[in-house]
C-alpha cells in the first residue's frame, strides 16, 4: 500500500505542477512566448492571498477572489505594458524571454524586501481532515484530494473551452498566423492579454493551494516553474491533456523516487532528465522550413583597439594595487562574474544558444578545481578543471543539437537544477558544511593568496578577464566566429553552405563552459573553502539578465555585467549609502526590464551609437599608428571566364517525399548536366521547393536516390553534400544579416572543423576568399558592397549576393529557388545573363526554379514541369511550350 500512498501524494504534487503548466500552455498558445515568470506569479498570488486573509482579516473566499483577480491583472499587465511594447520595438525573441525572467527577478526581489527569507504560515483554503482509503490502509489529508479534483476539473474545462468555443478557435488562429487573424478582425493583443490573465490565474491558484503545505517563502514557490516547464516540454506547450498527464506523472515519479531511491536529489533530477531525453529524441537536428527566427540581438565586430585596452589595463592595475582591500574584494567579484558574462556573450550573443545554467557550470569548475588542488599544483589543477568543465558543458549542450530558442533555455534550466540537486546538495561531493578546502595560492612562485595578498588576487582576476575578453573578440573575427553567427542567424542556410551546425554548437558550449569554469574558480578560491551552496539557479538567471542589460552581443557587455552584480564595483560605489545595497537586486531587475523595453540590444549598444563620432575619430587615429595594418583579401581576382568548376552530373531518380499522408513529391526523376541550365516550373504547391529540399538533404525522401557525379549522396547530411559540390539558394534569401557581405562569402568558402576554432581565440587570421568567391565579386560587381551588411543594400543587390555566396566555394551543381522573385524585368534580365554565364563560363550545372516564364524559356537548355508533386513533362523550351498537358496545367493559366 505504500506504493499507492506515495502515488496519491505524488498526484497532489503533480496537480500543482499541472496548474502552473496549464497556465504556461495558455500563455504560449495566446502569445507564442514561454513565461519563465509563471512560478513568480504563483508566489505573487500566494502572497496576495496572505495579505488579504491575514493582514486585512478578510474571509478566505474573499481573499481567494481578490488574489486571483490581482494575479489576472499582473498577467495582463506583463503582456500589455512590457511584451507588447517590446514587440512594437522589434525586440528579439531572446529579449522577450529575458523580459519574463526579469519579471521573475522583480517579483522575487520585492518579496525578499517585504517579507524577508523566513517562511510564513498561510491559513489553508481547503479542509485538512484525514481521509482513509482502501479500508484504512491508505490515509491522506483531504486537501490533497481536493487539489487533485480541482486540477482535473479545470483541465477538462480548459480542454472544452479551447476545443469547442469560438474564443478557443480564435486563440489557435492567432497562434498559427497572427497577420491572418488580424485581417479577419481579431485583435492578437486582446487575445494574448486574456490568455496571459487566465494563465496567471491558474498560477496564482496553484500558489494559494500549495502555500499552506510548503509554507510561504519566495524561493520555494518560484521554483515551481521548473517542473511545470518540464511538463510543458512533454506536451509541446500546446496539448492540455498531454501536459496534464505529464505533470501528474512527474509528481508521481518524484514521490516514488523519494520513497525507494536514497541517493541525494534524484527525486528532483530524474523527471527533468526524462523530459530532456524525450525532447532530444523528438527534436530535429535542423529546423523545418517554416521555422522563422526573429531578429537576434546585435553583435559587435570583435575589433580590438590597443590604446583602449592599454588604458583599461593600466586603470585596473592601479585600482587593484592602490584602492584598498574593499575595492579588491569588489573587483574580484565583478571580474569573476564578468568572466562568466563573457561566456554568455560567446554562447548566447554569438552562438544564439540561450543557456540558463552558466553559473551552475561555473560551480562545477570550482568544485573540480578544489578537489584537484588538494592533490596537485594549482595551475595544472585549474587547467584540468577548466577542460573537464568544458567537456561537461558540451554534454549539457547536447539538447541544443535537437532543439533551439526558448525550449533550449528550458532544457538547460532543468539540467542546471538537476546538477544542483544531485551534485551540489551531495555532501560526499561538496564536503558538507565545511566545504572543499582551498590551499594557499601561488602562481609561478608568486603568492596570490587572497587572504594575505588580496591586491595580487584582484590583479590576477582582472588580468584573466582582460585576456579572455581579447580571446572572445578574436573568436568573433575568426572563421569559427563567423560560423557561430551564421548558425545563430539561420541554421538551414549555414548547413547548406557546409557549416558543421552540430559541431559549431557543441564547440560554443565547450568553450563557454570552460570560460565560465575559470570565472567560478576565481570567485570561489577567494574564500578558505569552496561552498557549493552559493551556486544557485537564480543567480544563473540573474547573470544572463545582467549581460543582456550590458549588451549580450558585445564583448564589453559581458565584462560590464559583472560590475552590476551584488557585491561588485557598482555596489562598492554605492557603499556610502548602505541602505541602497539591499535594494540592488530589485534595482537591477527593474533596470533590466527598462533596458529590454527601451534598448533591447543592451546599454553598450546605446553608448556606442551615441559615441559614433568619437569612435570614427579613434578609427582615424588608429589608422596612422605604426602597428595598424589594413587587412585585405589575399589573391588577385580570377577572371570569371577562366574559372571552371569540377564537372559533376546531378541525377535524381524516382524520388518521393511525404509529410504524413500528403505526397508532396511523388516518383520524380530529373538530371542536371555540367554547364546546363535546367528549369523547373509548375504552379504553387507543385512540390518544387520540396524537391530541392530533398536533393540538398533538408527533407527525407520516402523513396528514390540522389547521385552527384559518382557518389550516392541521398543519405548524406546537407553539410556533406555542400562539401561535395552541391549548393543552393533559398526563396527568402536567408543571408546572414549580422555579417558583412564579405563575411557572408567567407562563410561559404572558409570551411573547417569547429575544434580548430581554439586557434581563433589566439590568432583569428584574415578573411581569405577562394578563387570562386573572388571571381564572383568581380563578375557581380560586389566590391563596393563588401563592407556593408545585407540589410544596408538594395533588395536586388541582396539577390545577387545570395547567388554569389552560393557559388563562392565553386560548386559543381547549383540549385536556385526563385532567384528573380520580387525583381523588375530589367533586373531579372541581368540575373538571367549571370545564370547563363555561371553555366557556360564556369561549367556549373544549374537547376533553376522560377515563376517568370519568359526568363525560364530564354535561359534554360531543358525544362521540367511538375504538377501536384508529379512529373508532368521534360524537354527543351520549344517542346515544353508545345506540350498540351503543360499548356492546360500551367502555361495556359500563366498566359491567361
Report the largest interatomic distance among the alpha carbons of the chain, rounded to a whole angstrom. 92
pLDDT digits (tens, 9 = 90+) for 753-798: 777 788 899 988 888 888 999 999 998 899 999 999 999 999 889 9
179 Cβ partners below 8 Å, 6+ apart?
A: none
- Other CB atoms within a 10 A radius of the CB of residue 875 amount to 15
More confident residue, 433 or 156: 156
pLDDT digits (tens, 9 = 90+) for 338-357: 999 999 999 999 998 989 99
pLDDT digits (tens, 9 = 90+) for 562-590: 998 888 888 888 776 656 667 777 887 88
For residue 557, name the pLDDT band (cuts at 50, 70, 90).
very high
CA distance 140 to 619: 73
For residue 894, name the pLDDT band (cuts at 50, 70, 90).
low
Of the listed ranges 54-63, 117-126, 268-277, 548-557, the one predicted with least confidence: 268-277
Judge whether residue 734 has pLDDT over 90. Answer: no
Average pLDDT over residues 544-552: 89
More confident residue, 274 or 124: 124
Judge whether residue 878 has pLDDT over 90. Answer: yes
Average pLDDT over residues 118-127: 89
Pairing of strands 813-817, 726-728: parallel
State the DSSP code for 687. Answer: S
Pairing of strands 436-437, 529-530: antiparallel
Judge whether residue 208 has pLDDT over 70. Answer: yes
CA distance 60 to 275: 37
Residue 632, judged by CB atoms within 10 A of its CB (0-12, 13-18, 19+), counts as exposed
Classify 425 as helix, strand or coil: coil
More confident residue, 720 or 233: 720
**Cα–Cα distances in angstroms (integers) from residue 214 to residues 20, 121, 210, 220, 420, in the given order:** 16, 9, 6, 8, 20
Sorted by where each begins, the domain ranges of the chain are 1-260, 319-575, 650-725+811-891, 739-802
State the DSSP code for 398. Answer: G
**Cα–Cα distances in angstroms (integers) from residue 488 to residues 17, 345, 618, in the given order:** 33, 13, 30
Pairing of strands 862-867, 870-875: antiparallel
Q: Among residues 26, 109, 105, which one has the least CA distance to residue 72?
A: 26
Mean residue pLDDT of the chain comes to 87
Judge whether residue 616 has pLDDT over 60. Answer: yes
Average pLDDT over residues 626-646: 55
Per-residue pLDDT at 88: 84
User: Which grid coordinates belong to 456?
Assistant: 595580487
pLDDT digits (tens, 9 = 90+) for 362-371: 999 999 999 9
Residue 496, judged by CB atoms within 10 A of its CB (0-12, 13-18, 19+), counts as buried
382, 530 contact by CB (below 8 A): no
pLDDT digits (tens, 9 = 90+) for 2-57: 788 888 888 999 999 999 999 999 999 888 888 999 999 999 999 999 999 999 99
Q: Is the dihedral of CA 294, 296, 297, 302 positive or negative?
A: negative
Per-residue pLDDT at 131: 85
**Cα–Cα distances in angstroms (integers) from residue 59 to residues 53, 123, 129, 817, in the given order:** 6, 11, 20, 67
Q: Among residues 171, 222, 169, which one has the least CA distance to residue 20?
A: 222
Q: What is the pTM of this model?
A: 0.89
Per-residue pLDDT at 385: 96
Cα angle 735, 740, 744 (rounded to 5 degrees) comes to 50
Per-residue pLDDT at 289: 45
Per-residue pLDDT at 291: 46
Classify 514 as helix, strand or coil: helix
Classify 647 as helix, strand or coil: coil
More confident residue, 141 or 291: 141
Per-residue pLDDT at 288: 46
Average pLDDT over residues 548-556: 90
Per-residue pLDDT at 177: 72
pLDDT digits (tens, 9 = 90+) for 643-690: 788 899 999 999 999 987 788 999 999 999 999 999 999 988 899 999
CA torsion angle 779 783 788 794 (round to 10):
-50
Per-residue pLDDT at 283: 63
User: Which grid coordinates belong to 269?
Assistant: 533530477
Judge whether residue 69 has pLDDT over 90. Answer: yes
770 Cβ partners below 8 Å, 6+ apart?
A: 749, 808, 809, 810
Cα angle 851, 855, 861 (rounded to 5 degrees) comes to 105
**Cα–Cα distances in angstroms (integers) from residue 638 to residues 204, 643, 647, 775, in the given order:** 67, 7, 19, 5
Measured in whole angstroms, the distance separating CA 584 from the mean position of its chain's CA atoms is 28
Per-residue pLDDT at 114: 92
What are φ and ψ of residue 298, in 5° steps? -65, 155
Classify 541 as helix, strand or coil: helix
For residue 886, name the pLDDT band (cuts at 50, 70, 90).
confident
For residue 642, name the pLDDT band (cuts at 50, 70, 90).
low
Q: Among residues 368, 339, 362, 329, which one has the least CA distance to residue 451?
A: 329
CA torsion angle 882 883 887 891 (round to 10):
-70
Per-residue pLDDT at 479: 92
**Cα–Cα distances in angstroms (integers) from residue 466 to residues 335, 394, 557, 871, 888, in the given order:** 9, 24, 13, 61, 69
Classify 678 as helix, strand or coil: strand
State the DSSP code for 24. Answer: H
Q: Among residues 271, 747, 869, 865, which one has the least CA distance to residue 496?
A: 747
Share of the chain above pLDDT 70, in %: 94
Residue whose grid cell is 572563421: 479
- Other CB atoms within a 10 A radius of the CB of residue 253 amount to 16
Average pLDDT over residues 606-618: 73
Q: H-helix or E-strand containing 849?
A: strand 845-849
**Cα–Cα distances in angstroms (integers) from residue 73 to residues 18, 193, 211, 570, in the given order:** 21, 10, 21, 34
* E strand map for 726-780: 726-728
Average pLDDT over residues 818-822: 89
549, 591 contact by CB (below 8 A): yes
pLDDT digits (tens, 9 = 90+) for 248-303: 999 998 888 888 777 778 887 877 787 777 777 776 555 544 444 456 788 988 88
Tell me if domain 1-260 and domain 319-575 are identical in fold. yes
Q: Which residues of 174-193 are buried (b: 16+ CB within 10 A; e: fewer)?
A: bbeebeebeeeebebbebbb
Average pLDDT over residues 455-470: 95
CA distance 844 to 809: 12
Classify 359 as helix, strand or coil: helix
User: Which grid coordinates belong to 187?
Assistant: 485583435
- Other CB atoms within a 10 A radius of the CB of residue 460 amount to 20
Share of the chain above pLDDT 90, in %: 51
- Other CB atoms within a 10 A radius of the CB of residue 151 amount to 26
Per-residue pLDDT at 629: 47
Angle between helices 479-489 and 741-749 (to 10 degrees): 100
CA distance 592 to 392: 30
CATH topology of domain 319-575: ABC transporter involved in vitamin B12 uptake, BtuC (1.10.3470)
CATH class of 1-260: mainly alpha
Per-residue pLDDT at 624: 60
297, 95 contact by CB (below 8 A): yes
Residue 821, judged by CB atoms within 10 A of its CB (0-12, 13-18, 19+), counts as middle
Q: Among residues 207, 203, 220, 210, which one has the least CA distance to residue 117?
A: 220
CA distance 790 to 798: 6
Pairing of strands 703-708, 650-659: antiparallel
Q: What share of the chain is helix, strand, coil (3-state, %, to 5)?
A: 65, 10, 30
| Pick among 3.40.50.300, 1.25.40.10, 3.40.640.10, 3.30.70.100: CATH of 650-725+811-891 | 3.40.50.300
Residue whose grid cell is 573540480: 368
Amino acid at each position: 500500500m505504500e506504493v499507492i500512498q506515495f502515488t496519491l501524494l505524488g498526484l497532489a504534487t503533480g496537480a500543482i505542477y499541472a496548474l502552473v503548466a496549464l497556465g504556461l500552455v495558455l500563455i504560449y498558445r495566446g502569445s507564442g512566448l514561454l513565461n519563465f515568470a509563471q512560478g513568480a506569479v504563483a508566489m505573487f498570488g500566494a502572497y496576495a492571498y496572505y495579505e488579504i486573509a491575514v493582514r486585512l482579516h478578510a474571509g478566505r473566499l474573499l481573499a481567494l477572489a481578490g488574489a486571483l483577480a490581482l494575479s489576472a491583472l499582473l498577467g495582463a499587465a506583463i503582456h500589455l505594458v512590457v511584451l507588447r511594447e517590446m514587440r512594437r520595438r522589434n525586440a528579439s525573441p531572446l529579449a522577450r524571454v529575458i523580459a519574463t525572467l526579469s519579471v521573475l527577478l522583480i517579483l522575487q526581489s520585492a518579496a525578499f524586501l517585504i517579507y524577508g527569507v523566513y517562511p510564513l504560515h498561510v491559513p489553508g483554503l481547503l479542509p485538512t481532515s484525514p481521509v482513509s482509503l482502501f479500508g484504512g490502509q491508505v490515509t491522506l489529508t483531504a486537501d490533497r484530494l481536493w487539489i487533485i479534483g480541482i486540477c482535473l476539473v479545470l483541465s477538462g474545462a480548459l480542454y472544452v473551452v479551447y476545443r469547442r468555443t469560438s474564443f478557443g478557435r480564435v486563440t489557435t488562429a492567432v497562434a498559427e498566423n497572427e497577420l491572418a487573424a488580424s485581417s479577419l478582425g481579431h485583435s492578437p493583443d486582446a487575445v494574448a492579454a486574456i490568455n496571459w490573465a487566465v494563465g496567471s490565474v491558474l498560477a496564482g491558484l496553484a500558489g494559494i493551494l500549495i502555500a499552506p503545505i510548503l509554507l510561504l517563502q519566495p524561493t520555494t514557490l518560484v521554483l515551481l516553474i521548473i517542473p511545470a516547464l518540464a511538463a510543458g516540454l512533454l506536451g509541446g506547450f500546446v496539448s492540455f491533456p498531454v501536459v496534464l498527464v505529464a505533470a501528474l506523472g512527474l509528481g508521481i515519479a518524484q514521490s516514488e523516487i523519494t520513497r525507494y531511491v536514497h541517493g541525494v536529489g534524484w527525486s528532483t533530477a530524474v523527471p527533468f532528465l526524462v523530459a530532456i531525453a524525450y525532447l532530444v529524441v523528438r527534436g530535429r537536428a535542423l529546423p523545418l522550413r517554416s521555422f522563422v527566427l526573429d531578429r537576434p540581438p546585435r553583435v559587435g565586430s570583435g575589433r580590438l583597439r590597443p590604446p583602449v585596452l592599454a588604458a583599461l589595463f593600466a586603470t585596473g592595475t592601479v585600482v587593484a594595487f592602490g584602492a584598498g582591500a574593499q575595492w579588491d574584494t569588489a573587483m574580484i567579484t565583478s571580474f569573476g562574474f564578468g568572466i562568466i558574462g563573457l561566456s554568455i556573450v560567446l554562447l548566447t550573443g554569438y552562438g544564439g544558444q540561450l543557456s540558463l545554467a552558466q553559473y551552475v557550470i561555473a560551480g562545477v569548475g570550482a568544485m573540480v578545481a578544489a578537489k584537484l588542488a588538494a592533490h596537485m599544483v594549482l595551475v595544472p589543477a585549474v587547467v584540468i578543471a577548466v577542460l573537464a568543465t568544458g567537456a561537461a558543458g558540451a554534454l549539457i549542450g547536447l539538447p541544443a543539437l535537437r532543439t533551439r530558442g526558448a525550449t533550449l533555455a528550458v532544457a538547460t534550466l532543468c539540467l542546471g537544477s538537476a546538477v544542483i540537486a544531485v551534485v551540489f546538495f551531495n555532501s560526499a561531493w561538496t564536503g558538507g558544511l565545511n566545504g572543499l578546502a582551498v590551499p594557499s595560492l601561488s602562481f609561478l612562485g608568486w603568492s596570490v593568496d587572497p587572504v594575505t595578498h588580496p591586491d595580487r588576487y584582484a590583479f590576477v582576476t582582472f588580468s584573466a578577464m582582460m585576456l579572455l575578453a581579447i580571446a572572445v573578440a578574436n573568436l568573433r573575427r575568426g572563421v569559427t566566429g563567423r560560423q557561430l553567427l551564421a548558425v545563430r542567424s539561420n541554421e538551414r542556410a549555414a548547413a547548406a553552405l557546409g557549416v558543421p551546425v552540430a559541431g559549431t554548437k557543441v564547440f560554443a558550449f565547450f568553450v563557454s563552459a570552460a570560460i565560465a569554469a575559470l570565472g567560478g574558480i576565481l570567485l570561489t578560491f577567494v574564500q578558505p573553502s569552496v561552498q557549493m551552496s552559493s551556486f544557485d539557479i537564480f543567480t544563473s538567471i540573474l547573470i544572463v539578465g545582467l549581460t543582456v542589460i550590458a549588451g549580450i552581443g558585445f564583448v564589453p557587455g559581458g565584462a560590464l555585467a559583472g560590475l552590476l552584480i551584488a557585491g561588485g564595483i557598482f555596489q562598492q560605489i554605492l557603499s556610502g549609502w548602505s541602505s541602497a545595497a539591499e535594494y540592488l537586486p530589485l534595482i537591477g531587475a527593474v533596470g533590466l526590464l527598462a533596458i529590454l523595453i527601451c534598448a533591447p540590444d543592451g546599454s553598450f549598444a546605446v553608448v556606442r551609437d551615441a559615441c559614433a563620432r568619437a569612435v570614427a575619430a579613434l578609427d582615424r587615429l588608429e589608422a596612422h599608428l605604426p602597428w595598424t595594418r589594413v587587412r585585405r583579401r589575399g589573391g588577385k581576382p580570377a577572371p570569371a571566364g577562366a574559372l571552371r568548376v569540377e564537372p559533376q552530373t546531378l541525377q535524381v531518380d524516382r524520388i518521393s517525399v511525404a509529410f504524413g499522408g500528403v505526397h508532396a513529391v511523388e516518383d520524380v526523376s530529373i538530371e542536371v548536366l555540367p554547364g546546363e541550365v535546367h528549369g523547373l516550373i509548375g504552379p504553387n504547391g507543385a512540390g518544387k521547393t520540396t524537391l530541392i529540399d530533398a536533393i540538398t538533404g533538408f527533407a527525407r525522401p520516402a523513396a528514390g536516390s540522389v547521385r552527384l557525379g559518382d557518389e550516392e549522396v541521398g543519405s548524406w547530411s546537407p553539410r556533406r553534400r555542400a562539401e561535395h559540390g552541391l549548393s543552393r539558394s533559398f526563396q527568402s534569401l536567408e543571408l546572414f544579416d549580422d555579417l558583412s557581405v564579405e563575411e557572408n562569402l567567407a562563410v561559404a568558402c572558409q570551411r573547417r572543423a569547429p575544434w580548430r576554432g581554439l586557434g581563433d581565440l589566439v590568432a583569428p587570421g584574415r578573411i581569405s576568399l577562394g578563387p570562386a568567391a573572388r571571381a564572383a565579386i568581380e563578375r557581380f560587381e560586389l566590391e563596393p558592397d563588401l563592407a556593408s551588411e545585407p540589410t544596408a543594400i538594395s533588395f536586388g543587390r541582396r539577390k545577387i549576393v545570395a547567388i554569389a555566396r552560393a557559388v563562392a566555394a565553386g560548386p559543381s551543381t547549383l540549385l536556385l529557388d526563385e532567384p528573380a522573385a520580387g525583381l523588375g524585368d530589367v533586373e531579372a534580365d541581368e540575373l538571367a545573363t549571370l545564370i547563363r554565364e555561371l553555366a557556360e563560363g564556369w561549367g556549373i550545372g544549374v537547376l533553376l526554379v522560377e515563376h517568370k516564364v519568359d526568363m525560364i524559356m530564354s535561359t534554360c537548355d531543358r525544362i521540367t514541369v511538375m504538377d501536384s508533386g508529379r512529373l508532368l513533362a521534360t524537354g527543351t523550351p520549344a517542346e515544353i511550350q508545345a506540350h498540351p498537358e503543360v499548356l492546360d496545367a500551367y502555361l495556359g493559366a500563366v498566359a491567361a
